[in-house]
């Protein structure tokens, strides 16, 4: 059965760049990168929930900064975009509703996690 249009997916170009690092797949680079991202994402979402409890904008910006590039590298572009927005808002001194931003981050993180896990199970 083909995936539905709203099913979370990772960017094909980002995945292709990762596959280029291990063209024959012998070293399992793609799998190892996706597993590392999954582990990091789970840790960072836990830290985001803690930041929400403390209303800690600086911690949220740090989490967004950390996840921004790793999300881009595995093709979780919606998560990366959300991280850019959060980091930019906090760093600019804008009024930031930490609770709402964490919820937005968690929503995108869950979508990315679903896509990563689907790739790992394929």
Domain extents for the chain? 12-121
Read off the pLDDT of each residue in 3-15 and give the average, rounded to a whole number: 81
**Apex 77 CA angle, 118 and 35, nearest 5:** 40
Would you tell me which CATH number, out of the four given (3.30.70, 2.40.160, 1.20.120, 3.40.30), belongs to the domain 12-121?
Answer: 1.20.120
Cα Rg of the chain, angstroms: 15
How many helical (H) and strand (E) elements, i.e. helices and strands, does the chain have?
5, 0
Range list of β-strands (E), 1-122? none
pLDDT digits (tens, 9 = 90+) for 55-94: 999 999 999 999 999 999 999 999 999 999 999 999 999 9
* Average pLDDT for the chain: 93
Task: Give every CB contact of residue 83 below 8 A, 6+ residues apart in sequence.
Answer: 64, 65, 67, 68, 71, 105
| Residue 4 confidence class, pLDDT cut points 50, 70, 90 | low
| Residue 122 confidence class, pLDDT cut points 50, 70, 90 | confident
Instruction: Give me the pLDDT at residue 2, please.
Output: 47
């Amino acid at each position: 059965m083909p995936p539905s249009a709203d099913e979370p997916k990772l960017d094909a170009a980002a995945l292709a760049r990762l596959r280029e690092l291990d063209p024959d797949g012998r070293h399992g680079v793609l799998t190892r990168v996706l597993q590392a991202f999954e582990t990091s994402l789970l840790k960072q979402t836990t830290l985001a929930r803690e930041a929400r409890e403390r209303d800690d904008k600086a911690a949220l910006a740090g989490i967004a900064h950390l996840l921004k590039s790793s999300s881009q590298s595995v093709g979780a572009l919606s998560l990366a975009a959300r991280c850019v927005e959060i980091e930019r808002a906090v760093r600019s001194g804008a009024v930031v509703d930490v609770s709402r931003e964490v919820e937005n981050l968690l929503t995108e993180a869950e979508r990315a996690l679903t896509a990563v896990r689907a790739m790992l199970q394929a």
